Structure 1
Amino acid sequence: MPLDDFEALERGAPETVTLEFITGKLEVKPVPDGDHGAIFMWVLRQCMQQRPELALYPQRGLEVERCRAGRARVDGALAPVGTFAGAGEWADPAGVLMVLEMTSHDSDTNLRIRREKRDGYAAAGFPVFLLIDRDRHALTVYSQPEYGRYRLDLAFAYGTTVEIPDPGGITLDTEPLKDFAA
């Protein structure tokens, strides 16, 4: 599918789904549930308290993958305040210090988030990718992108303290995430 066709299709999509274009194929992502939103707000508060010069932009559309041939709507993009001022629906990822994703309870989470989006984010050169895995009750911090892959991926169970490496540079006490574990 050509990128222009994807962007036209995405503009006309119903509000009950979000469309993405990852590794050359159309992806359908369900609208987040209430726990998803609550976890996002928890991360947002941590970022604001520890790094007030940064903003965690929700549901930000970014150009990803090599040559920015993909389109991903990340759950959160940590970047300096004002980074996306004047940007369109799909923004250049320059300035993004960390991307945040949270798994949804859908059948393609393993392929879409844990592999395809991870690889697209590494190819785009995002310094840190934080995955909050609601199915596994864990956080995975991917960092040091090189040659389209993250060199480091460290997993932490809910309840541990997680150090997000620079340039993210925040510390997450993940004990509150246990409240969202089913």
Structure 2
Amino acid sequence: MTVMTTDRPQMERDAFEAIAMTAAREDVTLELINGRLGVKPVPDGDHGEIVMWLLERCLQQRPDLNLYPEQGLKVESCRSGRARPDGALAPVGTFAGQGEWAEPQGVLMVVEVTSHDADADRRDRVEKPAAYARAYIPVYLLVDRDARSVTVFSEPEHGTYTSAVTLSYGHTVVLPEPVGVTLDTEDLKAYVR
């Protein structure tokens, strides 16, 4: 097994950005996490419905925030990684004037909804929590369609989230401060294959 680290990246950030800008196809999204090129499939209909469900709940409870879909973020140490979360919750206007890959300052929460592909386990459950914690994003919400659960990662410290709470669909999930949103996840049962 080959382990990629930022000390020996698969590719450098500038090369990744050039490829992502010119070679991305309509059926995938490219990311650079932990020095490794990642390919994320374009979301299916249920995936999109989950993101919209979450967007509506966040706007109802926190109208001062927007859930920005697919906003590119600079993540990891020295901001050398590039992630495109399914949603980035931030105060209105946070990304104004920023380019395709924005600094994560001001982002209160990132959201990932698992896709039905072979890399979902490594990407969404291992690499993304580490990358988002290293960027000191306060909350990472993982909607895991395979496990039919929601995991709330919070309290980033020294490059890792020190709290992770997992609840199955149907439970009430409290997103901690600075997010301060409560989700009744019963509706998520409608988006299970």
Name the CA distance, whole Å, in 2 between partners of 1:26 and 1:98: 23
In 1, distance between residues paired with 2:12 and 2:49? Answer: 36
Offset, 1:2: 1.4
- The yes-or-no answer on 1:145 pairing with 2:182 is no
Letter in 2 for 1:48: L
Pairing 1:11–2:21 present = yes
TM-score scaled to structure 1, two decimals? 0.99
Query: Quick one: which of 7, 18, 22 aligns to 2:33?
Result: 22
Show the counterpart of 1:47: 58
% same residue:
60
Deviations 1:102-132 (A, max 9, x none): 0000001111110011100011101000000
**Cross-structure match for 2:85:** 74
Residue number in structure 1 paired with 2:132: 121
**Equivalent residue number for residue 180 of structure 2:** 169
Look up the SS of the partner of 1:11 in the other structure: helix
- Show structure 1 runs of 5+ residues with no match: none
Measured after TM superposition, the shift of residue 47 of structure 1 is 0.4
Distance 1:66 1:74 in 2: 17
RMSD: 0.5
Corresponding residue pairs, total: 182
- Tell me the secondary structure at the aligned position of residue 105 of structure 1: coil
Query: TM-score scaled by structure 2?
Result: 0.93
Deviation at 1:181, TM superposition (A): 1.7
- 5+ unaligned residues in a row in structure 2: which ranges? 1-10
